[in-house]
Amino acid sequence: MRLQSTMLFVKSLPVMEKFYTQVLGLRPLDESRGDTWLEFDAGSTTLALHAIPPHLAQQINITSPPTPREESPYKLVLEAGHLEAELARLRTLGVVLIERPWGTWDGVDPEGNIFGLVELRRKPAPQGRPLE
């Protein structure tokens, strides 16, 4: 098996679409767009946002700045080509960033979901075949 997609349930689909598109730079897959659903091209998989039904969403309080959901059982991890430059860019945009004691960084989206930030892993160039 392999991971096909990851889905986040969200209170405000428009706010979260704007964040994942304009701040994190993911490309929406317009063919997947619906009233309560949107998918993004996230490299080797897709990220889907699914709106929580309104009667449940009204019971959820989102703070500003968002309170990190430290006890969530999941965390997205995003790769950046130049991590330090990406951290600086996110800081200027007002994204809540958390430096972890073990030397890694996490960001917090507008609804408090935590995402990890790591340096892009460069894959080694393929080795040529030995001459026969």
Q: Each residue's pLDDT tens digit in the chain (132 positions)?
A: 988 899 999 999 999 999 999 999 999 999 999 999 999 999 889 999 999 999 999 999 999 999 999 998 999 999 999 999 999 999 999 999 999 999 899 999 999 999 999 998 776 666 666 655
Counting runs of H as helices and runs of E as strands, what totals does the chain give? 3, 8
Between vectors from CA 81 to CA 79 and to CA 83, what angle results, nearest 5°?
75
**What pLDDT, on a 0 to 100 scale, did the predictor assign at position 44?**
86
The domain locations on the chain are: 1-60, 63-123
The domain defined by 63-123 folds into 2,3-Dihydroxybiphenyl 1,2-Dioxygenase; domain 1 (3.10.180)
Token representation of residue 75: 């965390």
DSSP 31: G
- Laid out side by side, the sheet with 105-108 consists of 76-80, 114-119, 105-108, 96-99
Q: Does the fold of domain 63-123 match that of domain 1-60?
A: yes
Query: Considering the domain 1-60 in this protein, what is its CATH number?
Result: 3.10.180.10
